[in-house]
Structure 1
Amino acid sequence: MSRLHRVRWYWRWCCGCALLLALLFGAMNTNTSQAQAAAREVYVGIYNNPPKIMAGANGQPSGILGHLLQEIALQEGWVLHPVHCTWEACLAALEAGDIDLLPDVAYSEQRASTLDFHETPALHSWSQIYRREGIELHSMLDLQGKRLIVLNGSVQEQYLRPLLASFGITAQIMPAQNFEQAFAKVAAGEADAAAVNYHFGDQAAPRFHLLPTSLIFQPSKLYYASGKGRNSDLLATLDSHLTNWQANPNSFYFQNLKRWSGPPPAPPTVPIAFWWGLATVAALLLLALAGMLLLRREVARQTHKLRTSEEKLSTILNSIEANVFIKDAQLRYQYANRKLCEFLGVPIEQILGKSDEAFFDAPTAARIREIDHLVLESGQRLVREEYGHRLGNTKKHTFLSVKLPLGLPGQAGYALCGISTEITEQRQFIEEIHQLAFYDPLTHLPNRKQLMERLHQLMAEPRTHQGSQALLLINLDNFKDLNDTHGHSAGDQLLLQVAQRLTACARPGDMVARLGSDEFALLMGEHKPNSASTQHQIEYAATHILKALSEMPYQIGALEYLASAGIGITVLDSSQPSVEAILKHADLALFQAKAQGRNSLRFFKPDMEVVVAARAALETDLREGLRQEQFLLYYQPQVDSKHQMFGVEALVRWQHPQRGLVPPGSFIGLAEASGLIEPLGLWILRTACTQIAHWSHNPAMAHLQVAVNISARQLHHARFVEQVLAILDETGANPERLELELTESQLVEDMEGAITKMKKLKEHGIHLSLDDFGTGYSSLNHLKRLPLDQLKIDQSFVRDLLIDANDLSIVKAIVGMGHSLHLSVLAEGVETQEQRDMLEQLGCIFYQGYWFGRPMPVAQLQDWRSPGAVSTSSVD
């Protein structure tokens, strides 16, 4: 029995024994047993190739790819069984099906015939040759007679053997079982150099006192591989995690990569090998040209010798994996090697005598011609990155080109020789890394890191125009409600449209960035220096932004959504010693704007820090008050035209240990802003329902209907209906004695969702009232669709009812509208007998206000008497 089969048999035997013991002793509960039975067992091949893959101290997979696999296994509930083997043994076991996954496998057509790979690469790598001190390696030609170690059966070996043979280079290729062994042999003097992947090489070279060379080759993509036709579900799961991680620069993927690989590599520089190769090519070309001059005199004697030399030169140039060419003074091709012919897609006969305009689009040809002229005119060698498109091809190619003139020293060239190596894939890697590091993946706006760098640059520059620039922090109002109600995809659509509107508002020189979630920033460029109206200009621009964000609805699928935002503004000046101070000031201003209400903006002022500190202390007390249940419910009577109390409104008070009895106006706004309104609202609802259940045993109070105000956050919570019904069930309260009060502004944010929830509540007998009617945004069309029982006239209309004809007309219209819709109408804020009498004349017969009684504890409520009652009877 092979070692791998013994390992698998041993694991299965252990699992069987553990299951048997669990069944015998009953030590495992049913849920745990089911979870383990469902766990996926994955056998993973581990060979020693740090830092990409190796065995950790516990034998589990470690390294870059090992930790990625462990994180995926943790999230998916897989059980990983490590199988330790050499590279060749691991490959054989993978093909035989003895292991399920093998990390760190480079894709090739040959391997794809026997193995399966996922789509998204797990890691990008390339190979590099490392040497010991005293060994000089500047180009592939220097490998002549050297002893070179490669991993047995690796892609490095498959690449180097035919390459060296094509150059006619005789080097001793020595096998190693792993990279650690390869470096150890080079360090011990048993070999001159080793070819390894750069992840291992850069990390291990200092430990073995080895030096990197400029011989870099074979960029590759690394995957987790599985046996052909096996484990497609594992590969699909890996793809899903890798795709999501690589789209987020703050994900576990990039944290893990930074941990093992250190800082990202610097942009590609010109390898020394190019100069040596270039010098070799130039020397050979010069020898060939000299030979051609001699052949004119001795054609007969040198014909055979010349043909042989040309064939050797052609073999060398055609073996180079770079585009090699010669152009004349008019920049027409005089020579092209095999690689250039393949790139242009035409035989050499169709290249010679033509210029770059025949093969590249006009902008690309113009850039190449400019560099070529500079080489010929200066008589100096130039190294440039060249990019562009071939004719009829949309793919962008990038080359690292080395060009030198062919001519007499100090004179302008009469010909040009060039070597261009394609670095398109490497450039794409760099651009992708830059995009992930500095741009938001959803909106493609600059991210927080790029904004911070720009602010650091501004701080470092001389501030000649103090106070002429500003930072605006922009935060959407109630964005969480949209996410909770319609899902994150709807939230993403809103963020994309907000980004478009902000970009349209920006001026040239402004920077729009997304800092995360629903927070954006706009760094405004300089206004007119020394202008007395600079702040006015900034305020005008910020007001324009608020208007652009809120005046038109956003189309999110079939939903038309109205959004608004708050803006905090800080003007950049010398009083801000750091970038952190700038952001803090803008944040404080934003906090004040959000506290002021929807669609608000505020400039930073120094006293804001004191206010925010006090507000933070109050928020801390509020959290502690919720934890210690320091809140009370007061009840305000609701009276009919016969002066009989038919209901009460439950109003919260905070019995603070130091501040005393705190009214709701001092803390409800803070509870809304901090999110504490949800637990507070549930406490109010539960306490009111408990009181309903208690009064049900008191005949004098059992008929009372208790009205409870519902916050916007509560209403738009995905489980709001379930929460209300659960509290009713928990307290035993009669649903018909509960009235929930909603406001117009709450409903308009998500009318359809609110109607659905209201209908479900009505099905259980709960009454619904529209509070503060006349101050919101409801249209008659919306009102007739709402399953309401009552309209409450806002006290702002009742206050001046007797002296303001407009208020009188509004109240009359509301009463008439309520009656036409078969709704009861209750007037709030009734403070005088005259107001009550006028309301009765207008047809309103239900009232609430100080004339009948202020909010009071339960004990006082039971002794309540109406001031206008004609008899001494009470509700007791």
Structure 2
Amino acid sequence: MPVPSPAESRDSIGAPLSASTQHRQLVHEQVRLLYERLWQPVLASVLGACLLVAAMWPLLPATLLIGWLAALVVVSAGRLGLAWYYHCLPASRRRQRRWLYRFAWGAGVAGIVWGAAGVFMFTMEHHGQLVALTIVLTGIAAGGMTTLSSVWWVAPLFILPAMLPLLGQLLFQGSSFSWLLSAMVVLFLGLLLTVSRRLHRIISDNIALRLAVTSREAQLRESESRYRAIFRHTPLGMMHFDHEGRVIDFNERCLEILGTSRHRLQGFNLLEQVEDKRVSGAVRQALVSGAGYYEGTYRAILSGKQTPLRAFYNALRNETGEIVGGVALIEDFTERKRAEETIHRQAYFDPLTELPNRRLLIETLASTIRDRCDDGRLGLVMFLDLDRFKMINDSLGHAVGDELLRQLSKRLLICLRDGDMAARLSGDEFVVLVPALSGDRMAELVRAEQMAMDLLTSLRKVYDLEGQRISVTPSIGYTLFPLTVDEDVGDVLRHADTAMYQAKVKGRAQVCGYEPAMQTQITWRLEMEQALRRALVEDQLCAHFQPQLDHEGRIVGVEALMRWQHPIHGWISPEVFIAIAEESDLIVELETWMLDSCCQLLARLPAETLPRLSVNVSVRHFTQPGFVEGVTWVVGSHGVDPTRLTVELTESIMIDGLGDAVDRMHQLKRLGVNLALDDFGTGFSSLTYLKCLPLDELKIDRSFVSDLDSDSNDAAIVETILVMAQHLGIEVVAEGVENEAQLDFLLTRGCRRFQGFHFHRPMAREALESLLMSCRQAAMSNRIAD
């Protein structure tokens, strides 16, 4: 059975193959088997066709036979040409799925051509020719079974069209002879399909086994290569010795430390020729018990050189566990302390943040769990993950991302108490370990929640990174331990990680404690995704609208907000179902529906009543091919003035390519659609790229407005945004205005548009129309009075 080439194997076998990679390679090999030596069965098929034509020549018109034979030859030539072209392509292009479908088309067409023979060559008057026809068709079907079974459905695709017309003809005749032949054909067909299925399993298992063997061989070669590189280039002396203590191999560093030459050290007996009995004792201990250790000033008998060193002797075992030799690691003792400090730092601390790493955390947590099980007290683990950290690396560069991690690590250390530990787990994931709390679980749950909230408050404050003020929030999950007597490190970290994931599900920048029922919540989330798909079909979704007012209290626009009323659970929070939609492909469908609903409303109400309507568009939808065309179509189909429509985007549109985002935004501007940047200030690239974007409006995020009267940083950010927007000629809308104090602050700083509960809550379409109508009547009354 063919196996992948070494080059193909090395592309994906540097590490153990994943399930998806194994499947892709298996499919590729199955397809390759279909094309491999296709000329042989095709040639046999053409020869069989010639024999059948010769058998039928006395009975049927020559033009009919020759035409059928020509059709078969043409189909066969096409299949051979396809195979030739397939083999001429590079391996990467042969992996494309289309080659399987092309082969299947060819096999199906060939089966249909052979099936045609079972129709127009069928004759009950000449049993000899009928038997010949049956034998040829069954033989062709059997050949197809053997050559096409590497992909289970390709063989039936050829066999059934080839055999079923003949079977139908036999059944239609109704004679005893035809019934006998049809029964034989049915049995043969069933046998073919059964054998084809078994043969497919055998071929697939064979391919999978060979791929696994190839993978293991490649891993062994890579492992051997890594070991030889370490052996040659390690700063330690390495020495191999056999079960009798004779030196059989060593590296150059070993010769340098011992001060001898290669030919003098080769074959030296460490058990009999060494003067220092501690050395021979350590070697003997390694050969007997598995490990030995020596530390001291060693005098080399071969050179007389005295070197302070330490040596670790470890046994090497064969597959049965028998000791067959050993290896020694020799370190120059004069570098010991420096090397120990370096190794300890590399082994237990993260080089970027200088925090403890995963290894030290796991060791410390394991010890802490044992202590807490013994004394009955509780410990706390908090799992932190930065929200949208990848965007920072992608847009501002890894240097800025690294600086952010360093600054965050310093804040973590400031928040810790004596005895607590903060560790960097990986990437932007951090863990805080509070090893000792009291034994009162209820009280410590309240305390853990407060500690996590304090940590969130500290870490979410604005960071100053190379002159850029960036706001980054963590999602925090926490768990108390031990929950059970047999809980281990993996359980504790998994619980905290699960809680952190739930915090992200809640909307990011959240704190969540672990509960055993969270697995049920994950299941619920999957169920909600399916329910959301049904909601789109069953008209469970609706649009609510929140007015936007100017400084004189007039409604100058409306923002459309999606709402979902579940038939069982009632109103579902947008923070829940929008997050679910964004993680799947549903968000595009939801927002397409929302755009259509909003344009219907714009068409329903005149511009004097509803000047402008804003619709939120996600990054996934905005970057879809045909987005601008879709907006053009929905606006045109409803006959809406595009200047009355505002598309609200978030700053993350710039992450995957600023140039593409700007081009698409200019296309919308040419259409006449207004553009707004939503949640402004929560991102990290606004000030850098704002001047490149053709914006009409900025919307200050509600998180800054809500703390205007208590957080001087938020007040400063809002003032900066207003001044910057004024210079750029961009309108500003302040979201989340909830009281008079916030409104006064914004008015005095020049903000002229507002949105929030202080004015109106989101409302249904009927309520909005009623509100707009009353406002229009009041305005008309005022004009008449004037």
With normalisation by structure 2, the TM-score equals: 0.49
With normalisation by structure 1, the TM-score equals: 0.45
Tell me which protein shows more strand as a share of its residues: 1
Tell me which protein shows more helix as a share of its residues: 2
